[in-house]
Amino acid sequence: MEARDISQSSSEPFRISLRVRHPTIDPMLISRELKVEPEYCFRAGEPRESSSGIAAATVHAESYWLGTLQTLEAVAPLAGFNNPRVRSARERLQTSTLQSLSVTLDASVVAFLRQHGHFIRRLQDEQAQVTLLVEISRQSLNGFTISPQFARILSDLGIAMELDFVAD
């Protein structure tokens, strides 16, 4: 599957998605567990469309689920506080996560993966492949840092990471 061109869809400097390939799981179960609507999904055994329209009908050999992760996941716990300092801190963190891939990976993605670690491990035990896809605009983002904390959670959960650098 080709990566989406983030320059065409919005002016985001980056987009982070989670992809799951599984031998048999219902993709709607993944959506319920992760609380993320899929951008694209299908289930093993479902009919598969022919790209040419001429070939004989086939079925998908595996289940597939792709969902975009929300970058503000990590600031949600602060949402209930009315203290002006907490609101100000939350707003600064929201701005940082929208502009800094490093902050987003450390704050939002690590929190999301920790929260759903048990389910991700279950998927891995069932022979699923779980991949974090990061699409980066070459023009909007000059660089980023992968922290030991972020690398550790990917390693602990057996999640691969793919980086796709797209032109604006």
Q: What is the pLDDT of residue 117?
A: 97
Structure tokens at 104: 């987003």
H or E stretch covering 114: helix 110-115
Q: What is the pLDDT of residue 99?
A: 57
Per-residue pLDDT band for 128 (boundaries 50, 70, 90) equals very high
For tokens 């907490």, what's the residue?
A: 86
Task: Judge whether 149 and 110 are in contact, CB under 8 Å.
Answer: yes
Per-residue pLDDT band for 139 (boundaries 50, 70, 90) equals confident
Task: Judge whether 45 and 165 are in contact, CB under 8 Å.
Answer: no
How far apart CA 47 and CA 57 sit, in angstroms, is 7
Which residue from 40, 41, 111, 34 is spatially nearest to 71, judged by alpha carbons? 111
What integer is the mean pLDDT of 88-104? Answer: 62
Q: Which pTM does this prediction carry? A: 0.77
Question: Phi and psi (nearest 5°) for 123?
Answer: -60, -45
Share in percent of the chain as helix, strand, coil (round to 5)? 40, 25, 35
Between strands 129-137 and 14-22, the pairing is antiparallel
Q: What is the pLDDT of residue 3?
A: 44
